[in-house]
Chain A
């Protein structure tokens, strides 16, 4: 069974600085999708970024980028120029692309604080 691990329960970053959130996963599959979701306090979860495992190029979305290391099964999220609005719980998630109806597996989350 696939698992997703986020080893940093809490992290903090100074406003305007860069922070990297870690995520590792375990799978025997070669084709899958990885996601980072953001859940601000008392607000709904939104997709930050998505990565297809067959793509070697790391996904980027404005200030958010990932470092996808398939062999190491690592999928870290880098947030550049951190803003106060980035404070949230961040979840790393995995979904198989080999099984049409496989569920999304979420990591335990990393709580990010942004210090003004």
Chain B
């Protein structure tokens, strides 16, 4: 079974731009979570989607948004990029929301200049 895939793997943007990251979960998994990983803040939860509905949201500004499609693929969008948004963005999928173990993708490394 293929693992979690994320595209693109690397991205360079400038301040003020917007970016969309994509995540394809493991086949059969219906829950997708997004995390931001930085050296200073560690791993911080962004949001979790299950059956196209956002089930949980972390403490991030409204510039960070996401969605999930009927095939469980998910996208996250960051608008009006700031330098501090430079990070590794990780996606994780699980069979269902809540209690299931999460399996992580390789991440998208975003650099904001």
* B and A form one assembly: yes
Judged by a CB distance under 8 angstroms, whether B58 is at the interface is: yes
CB pair B99 A95 closer than 8 Å: yes
A11 at the interface (CB under 8 A from B): no
User: Which B residues between 4 and 58 are near A, CB-CB below 8 angstroms?
Assistant: 33, 35, 42-43, 45, 48, 50, 55-56, 58
Question: Are B98 and A104 neighbours in the complex by a CB distance under 8 Å?
Answer: no
Q: Which residues on the B side are within 8 Å of A46 (C-beta)?
A: 104
A45-B90 in contact given A100-B97, A105-B45 (Cβ < 8 Å): yes
> B101 contacts A50, CB within 8 Å?
yes
CB–CB A103/B45 < 8 A = yes
Once the chains bind, are B43 and A102 in contact (CB under 8 Å)? no
Q: Choose from B48, B55, B58, B99 the contact partner of A97 (Cβ within 8 Å).
A: B99
Q: Return the chain B residue nearest A32 by Cβ.
A: B99
Tell me, rounded to whole Å, the shortest Cβ–Cβ distance linking A31 to chain B: 10
Residues of B within 8 A of A101 (CB): 48, 50, 55-56, 97-98
Contact-size category for B: 20 to 34
29 A/B residue pairs, CB under 8 Å, sorted by A: A35-B101, A37-B104, A44-B3, A44-B104, A44-B105, A44-B106, A44-B107, A45-B90, A45-B92, A45-B104, A46-B104, A47-B101, A47-B102, A95-B98, A100-B98, A101-B50, A101-B56, A101-B97, A101-B98, A102-B98, A103-B33, A103-B58, A104-B45, A104-B102, A105-B45, A106-B35, A106-B42, A109-B42, A109-B43
User: Which B residues are within 8 Å of any A CB, using their own CB?
Assistant: 3, 33, 35, 42-43, 45, 48, 50, 55-56, 58, 90, 92, 97-99, 101-107
Chain A residues in the interface with B (C-beta under 8 A): 33, 35, 37, 43-47, 50, 91, 95, 97, 99-109
